[in-house]
Amino acid sequence: MALKGGTGDDRRKRFEEEALPHLDALYTMAMRLARNPDDAHDLLQETALRAYRFFHQFEVGTNCRAWLLTILFNNFRNGYRKTSREQPASTAEDFEHKIEIESMRGNHAESNPETLLSGRGMEQEVEAALGKLPEEFCEALLLVDVEELSYQEISGVLNIPIGTVKSRVSRGRAMLREALTEYAKERGIIRS
Amino acid sequence: MDCDTYIDRYLSAHVDGELSGDETRAVEKHLAGCANCRVRYAEERAVKAMVRERARRYETPVQVRGSILAALDAVDSGARAGDRAGHADRPGFSVIRRARLWLPVALAAAAMFAFVMLHGGNVPPAGAVPAFDSALERYEIFNAHFVPNVPSASPADISDAYLGHKMPGLLWNLQPSGYRLVGGRLERLDDGSLAAFTFYRGEEGTILCAFMKAHGMQMPEGATQIVAGHNYYKYKGYSVCLSYYPRGDFICVLVSRKTMPYFIQDILGSSL
């Protein structure tokens, strides 16, 4: 039988050691999902409380961050999704259209003779491109690239088959690459 | 393997280290002979690195962290209360959000398990209790004129202000009992220690909640009722409820002019 996350008096100590170091990662994801600090706070708090109550179900040696993110996403899906949230582009065509508009605004930093590969100074562009990705692609990408979860773990967090994880990551990254390339051209980082 | 197959089916998983041994060997064989796909692979890695390094990250605000720790405290104290009655980890605790409803946790347990000790009618009144006197004095002043001195547009504002001054951030929710939250005040007591006063007003009266340093204070004798760790007193004509805050050596003193039976009923009502 696998070791569990702790019960009784040692639960608090082990929770603080194992789970709380991931609080910033959870808060970052909560901010992305809820899109405002108040709702992110509620979502994070609900997640932490639920994780604490069910900490005995956490299997020691597995990825605690993935376990916590699973709870966070479940909580979000079960009631924190806000109707006021700006709807992201839902199709690839919409997405491309948004990127075009964004590029035409020309609201970017001065030209910089770097290549796309270095990506220097692309913070705003990365955020802008992520913000316009269809939600489910963006979530999969963040989980694999930022949270460094495996496809298997993401499958659990998002409750989708592993093949779907794979295609969302692949599709999302391709769209992101396209968008970043557009931005880079716009800024003269790379030539058309 | 041709380029389209590599890019469509394997590229992302290759970059993410998600290919099997056989697949890895196959794609590497392709890349060895295909300069275009090597560039494509490098770009895919660059996009991944850009997301990893440049996607915005947020630091949990101090107040948020504080209220989460306080919420864990509330679960701990609730679980202890529940343990006594054999009901640890009661799912109903999930209704707490932002740790702003600390007291109802214990009281909900009280309502559920009816853990009420009645002492009958011959209880001597509590002797002089300085903490009660401080709370009573403020209660009378605030009844005449209450002006919040912390942002009080919402319970969250008040809670954040208290937490910002290292005071308890958990507030009673007395709305279901008909008591509207008027606002919060932070004041120094005569001994120089900080106290947080939260004032409630309803159609039938007012309630003051005072968070003060416990200074090792013991529960005074003479409680008329003890409900899940909350001690109720008749004190100088007021109803007073004293409890220990689960973190940081604080006490919570509730004061009302309302008589005790109604007061308790209201408070219990607020917890459910």
CB-nearest to A53 from B49, B53, B89 is B89
Q: Does A127 touch chain B (CB under 8 A)?
A: yes
A17 and A86, same structural domain? yes
Does B50 contact A126 at a Cβ distance shorter than 8 Å? yes
Report if residue A164 sits inside a domain.
Answer: yes
Pairwise CA distance, residues B101 & B106, whole Å: 10
Q: Based on the fold, state whether residues A187 and A100 are members of the same structural domain.
A: no
Touching check for A45 and chain B: CB below 8 Å? yes
B14 touches chain A (CB under 8 A): no
Lowest mean pLDDT among B40-49, B82-91, B248-257: B82-91
pLDDT of B133: 92
**In whole angstroms, what is the distance from residue B96 CA to residue A41 CA?**
12
Residue with more model confidence, A24 or B109: A24
Q: How many domains, chain A? A: 2
Task: Look at B35 and B103; give whichever has higher pLDDT.
Answer: B35
Whether B57 contacts chain A with CB within 8 A: yes
CA distance A191 to chain B (A): 15
pLDDT band, very low/low/confident/very high, at B90 (cuts 50, 70, 90): very low
Highest mean pLDDT among A6-20, B16-30, B154-168: B16-30
> Parallel, antiparallel, or unpaired for β B250-256 and B225-227?
unpaired
CB contact under 8 A, B71 and A170: no
Q: Are residues A12 and A80 in the same domain?
A: yes
Between chains, do A49 and B64 touch, taking CB under 8 Å as contact?
Answer: no
Q: Judge whether B93 and A49 are in contact, CB under 8 Å.
A: yes
Pair A33, A80 in one domain: yes
What single string gives the DSSP state of each residue in B232-244? Answer: EEEETTEEEEEEE
Q: A120 CB near a chain B CB, below 8 Å?
A: no
Q: Which residues of B touch A24 (CB under 8 A)?
A: 57-60
B residues 202-231 lying closer than 8 A (beta carbon) to A: none
Please tell me the predicted confidence (pLDDT) of residue A149: 95
Mean pLDDT of B132-143: 93
Hey, which of A63-72, B211-220, B253-262 has the most confident mean pLDDT?
Answer: A63-72
Is residue A54 one of the residues assigned to a domain? yes
Residue A51 resides in a domain: yes
For an interface test with A, the pick among B27, B51, B75, B89 (most A C-beta atoms closer than 10 Å) comes out as B51
Of B165 and B160, more confident: B165
| Predicted local distance difference test score (pLDDT) of residue B79 | 58
A69 assigned to some structural domain = yes
Residue A116, in any domain of the structure: no
Find the CATH number of the domain harbouring A184: 1.10.10.10
For testing the chain A interface, which of B10, B39, B58, B83 should be mutated: the one with the most A CBs within 10 Å? Answer: B58
Mean pLDDT, residues B199-210 taken together? 89
Give residue A19's identity as a one-letter amino acid code: A
* CA B27 – CA B5 distance, rounded (Å): 10
Residue where a domain terminates, one of A111, A139, A158: A111
* Rg, C-alpha atoms of chain A: 19
Please tell me whether residues A38 and A101 are part of one structural domain: yes
Instruction: Give the residue from A154, A152, A159, A156 showing the smallest Cα distance to A140.
Output: A154
Q: Averaged over B149-163, what is the pLDDT?
A: 83
CB atoms within 10 A of CB A174: 18
pLDDT over 90, % of chain B: 28
Task: Show which of residues 73-102 on chain A sit within 8 Å of chain B, judged by CB atoms.
Answer: none
Number of A–B residue contacts, CB under 8 Å: 121
Q: Are residues A16 and A54 in the same domain?
A: yes
What pLDDT score was predicted for residue B252?
Answer: 87
**A48 contacts on B by Cβ (under 8 Å):** 68, 71-72
Confidence of residue A72 (pLDDT cuts 50, 70, 90): very high
Of residues A24, A38, A146, nearest to B55 (C-beta): A146
DSSP A55: G
How far is the C-alpha of A71 from the C-alpha of A80, rounded, in Å?
Answer: 12
Q: Could you report how far apart the first and last alpha carbons of chain A are, in Å?
A: 59
CA distance, residue B73 to nearest chain A CA (Å): 9
Instruction: Write down the pLDDT at residue B86.
Output: 36
Residues A132 and A65 in one domain: no
Domain that holds residue A77: 1-111
Tokens of B166: 């290292």
Most confident of A103-107, A186-190, B191-195: B191-195
How much is the average pLDDT of A8-16? 83
Q: DSSP 3-state helix, strand, coil percentages of chain A (rounded to 5)? A: 70, 0, 30
Distance between B43 CA and the closest CA of chain A, angstroms: 6
Query: Which chain A residues are Cβ-neighbours of B93 within 8 angstroms?
Result: 49, 53
Instruction: Report the SS3 class of residue B116.
Output: strand
- Kindly state whether residues A89 and A128 are assigned to the same domain: no
Query: Average per-residue pLDDT in chain A?
Result: 77
Same domain, A129 and A147: yes
Q: What is the pLDDT of residues A19-53, one digit of tens each?
A: 999 999 999 999 999 888 888 888 898 899 889 98
Distance from CA of B58 to the nearest CA of A (A): 5
Across B223-235, average pLDDT: 76
B residues 132-161 near A, CB within 8 Å? Answer: 156
Quick check: B192 and B212 in contact, CB under 8 A?
no
**Is residue A182 in a domain?**
yes
How far is CA A167 from each of CA A140, A151, A173, B221, B261, rounded to the nearest angstrom?
10, 10, 10, 68, 64
A48, A83, A111 - which closes a domain: A111
Residue A173 has pLDDT above 80, yes or no: yes
B168 has pLDDT over 90 = no
pLDDT at A107 over 70: no
The answer to whether residue B127 scores a pLDDT higher than 90 is no
| A135 touches B at CB < 8 Å | no
State how far the Cα of B67 lies from the Cα of B73, in Å rounded to an integer.
10
CB A88 within 8 A of CB A135: yes
ipTM of the complex: 0.77
Same domain, A32 and A97: yes
Tell me, what CATH number does A62's domain have?
A: 1.10.1740.10
Predicted confidence (pLDDT) per residue in A114-150, tens digit:
334 444 556 778 888 998 899 999 999 999 999 999 9
Give the predicted TM-score (pTM) of the model: 0.55
Burial (Cβ within 10 Å: 0-12, 13-18, ≥19) of residue A99: buried
Q: What is the pLDDT of residue B114?
A: 30
Task: Check CB contact under 8 Å for A126 and B51.
Answer: yes
Three-state SS sequence of B90-111: CHHHHHCCCCCCHHHHHHHHHH
The verdict on A84 and A21 lying in the same domain is yes
Residues A10 and A72 in one domain: yes
Residue A40: inside a domain, yes or no? yes
Predicted confidence at residue B269, as pLDDT, reads 42
Q: Which of A92, A111, A130 is the last residue of a domain?
A: A111
